[in-house]
């Protein structure tokens, strides 16, 4: 029986992603918006999020179902892979057709449609990669999965970097090029991931099996509904901004929202990486009736430290950070940022408790929380966007994420009969009441550049986390999971 260190695997995954994805989001993505302007990028961002609304068709919950199922029954990989690959290709075709038809119905045309087609193709390739990776992580091959998790972004950085800064063209950077670079990177990554999975499963051929398709879709359908509902309340904000506001300000406000959302998206990636490892681990541990206390407590402590510290520092230093990234609309982005970035805290906790509920098969309850999230999100957006524009959408997002997080935590402790005493809430409280006033005082009395104070405050926060035992070193060393 081999032992794996949970903290090591999470650390490796985060380390590799921190090497690549922040540069992609804060370098390439920001560079593209600065090159094409807020309005053109806002058009792309609204279309990109529109394609998310139909992602349920692309995946039908297969990826999460497969991750949980293969983690519990490794021997099914070879049996299921051929049929699921065929099914994924069929769903991809249906998805692209439905997305294009829906876009035509709401009035997309011209550049909107052109970008939408390629973005929809990218969504298919991305979910195809995620399905392939679900097989790798379900086999607990976390090092291989870590490599695959950064491959597409690494290729995008290379392609976009050449076009942005390589002086290979005399034409100003076009937003379409951004989409084409993503297509090339996803395609190469999908091929590599496919070859790795084929080798593991010893796949020989694809086959068409309607009874098998129906069986898989039936089993994965609750996961599909959850994905659809989560896509709506996570991605509908920018679409509603672009559709509700007058045309002369809609794409600009969507671009402003995107500039603040980009930083949130970059940070959420770190929390998401926990769920990549937690889902197969939770699934296996629940099946074997192992004690979940250690992994829940450690995950909660680490993500509390990360999310609360990050939100505190970024809100305090939001204007210097945004000024470093963008050339325009700094004030507007700052107003959105102060409501949007706190979403990191509830989102981080849903990647623990929502993942645990998924592993336990509580899909109906998860879907109920998501329906509640959609209701709050749409109502608040309809009421606030006409009055506060992108800021209203940010307030709607924070309200939604907070509600969903609270509901999921309540359900976890009720369904799994966990004790609240297992959560280090006193350590969290002491850490927070010392951190917030301390970093505020630092910002007022230290005679340094704001970015230097930000770095010093980060080191102080890390030290404080150890002093308050929010992150106990002994627990990190002793947390070994039998796999």
Tell whether the model's pLDDT for residue 346 goes beyond 50.
yes
- Band (pLDDT 50/70/90 cuts) for residue 481 is very low
Average pLDDT, the chain: 80
- In Å, what is the CA distance from 338 to each residue of 250, 255, 261, 290, 319? 21, 16, 11, 41, 10
| Secondary structure (DSSP) of 259-325 | HHHHHHHHHHHHHHHHHHHHHHHHHHHHHTT---HHHHHHHHHHHHHHHHHHHHHHHHTHHHHHHHH
pLDDT at position 396: 92
Per-range mean pLDDT, top range of 28-32, 208-212, 247-251, 469-473: 28-32
Tell whether the model's pLDDT for residue 328 goes beyond 60.
yes
Summarize the chain as % helix, strand, coil (round to 5): 85, 0, 15
- Band (pLDDT 50/70/90 cuts) for residue 1 is very low
pLDDT cut 90: percent of the chain above it: 13
In tens, the pLDDT along 128-157 reads: 888 888 777 666 666 777 777 778 888 888
**Residue 140 — left, alpha, or beta (φ > 0 → left; ψ -120 to 50 → alpha)?**
left
In tens, the pLDDT along 156-203 reads: 888 888 888 877 777 888 888 888 999 999 999 989 888 887 777 666
Q: Which residues is 3 bridged to in the sheet?
A: 482
Tell whether the model's pLDDT for residue 477 goes beyond 60.
no
User: Which comes out higher in pLDDT, residue 404 or 24?
Assistant: 404
Query: Tokens at residue 149, please?
Result: 């998790």
């Amino acid at each position: 029986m081999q032992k794996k260190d949970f903290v090591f695997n999470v650390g490796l995954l985060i380390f590799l992603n921190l090497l690549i994805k922040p540069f992609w989001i804060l370098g390439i993505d920001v560079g593209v918006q600065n090159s094409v302007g807020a309005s053109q990028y806002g058009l792309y961002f609204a279309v990109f999020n529109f394609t998310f609304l139909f992602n349920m068709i692309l995946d039908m919950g297969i990826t999460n179902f497969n991750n949980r199922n293969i983690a519990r029954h490794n021997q099914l990989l070879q049996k299921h892979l051929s049929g699921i690959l065929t099914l994924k290709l069929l769903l991809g075709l249906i998805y692209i057709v439905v997305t294009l038809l829906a876009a035509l119905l709401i009035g997309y045309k011209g550049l909107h449609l052109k970008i939408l087609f390629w973005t929809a193709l990218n969504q298919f390739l991305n979910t195809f990669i995620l399905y392939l990776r679900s097989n790798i992580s379900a086999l607990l091959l976390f090092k291989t999965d870590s490599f695959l998790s950064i491959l597409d972004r690494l290729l995008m950085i290379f392609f976009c970097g050449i076009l942005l800064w390589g002086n290979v063209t005399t034409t100003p950077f076009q937003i379409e090029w951004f989409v084409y670079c993503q297509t090339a990177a996803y395609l190469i990554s999908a091929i590599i991931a496919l070859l790795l999975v084929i080798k593991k499963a010893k796949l020989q051929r694809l086959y068409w099996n309607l009874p098998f398709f129906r069986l898989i879709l039936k089993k994965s359908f609750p996961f599909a509904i959850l994905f659809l509902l989560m896509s709506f309340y996570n991605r509908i904000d920018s679409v509603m901004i672009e559709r509700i506001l007058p045309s002369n300000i809609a794409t600009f406000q969507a671009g402003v929202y995107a500039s603040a959302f980009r930083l949130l998206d970059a940070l959420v990636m770190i929390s998401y990486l926990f769920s990549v490892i937690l889902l197969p681990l939770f699934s296996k541990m629940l099946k074997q009736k192992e004690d979940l206390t250690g992994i829940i407590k450690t995950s909660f402590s680490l993500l509390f430290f990360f999310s609360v510290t990050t939100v505190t520092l970024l809100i305090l230093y939001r204007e210097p950070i945004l000024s470093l990234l963008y050339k325009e609309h700094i004030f507007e982005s700052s107003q959105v940022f102060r409501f949007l970035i706190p979403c990191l805290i509830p989102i981080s906790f849903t990647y623990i408790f929502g993942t645990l509920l998924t592993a336990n098969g509580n899909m109906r309850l998860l879907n109920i929380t998501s329906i509640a999230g959609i209701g709050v999100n749409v109502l608040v957006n309809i009421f606030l966007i006409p009055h506060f524009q992108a800021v209203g959408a940010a307030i709607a997002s924070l309200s939604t994420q907070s509600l969903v997080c609270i509901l999921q935590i309540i359900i976890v402790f009720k369904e799994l009969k966990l004790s609240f005493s297992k959560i280090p809430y006193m350590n969290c409280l002491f850490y927070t009441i010392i951190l917030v006033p301390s970093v505020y005082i630092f910002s007022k009395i230290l005679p340094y550049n704001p970015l230097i104070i930000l770095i010093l405050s980060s080191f102080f926060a890390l030290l404080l986390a150890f002093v308050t035992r929010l992150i106990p070193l002994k627990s990190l060393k002793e947390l070994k999971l039998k796999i």
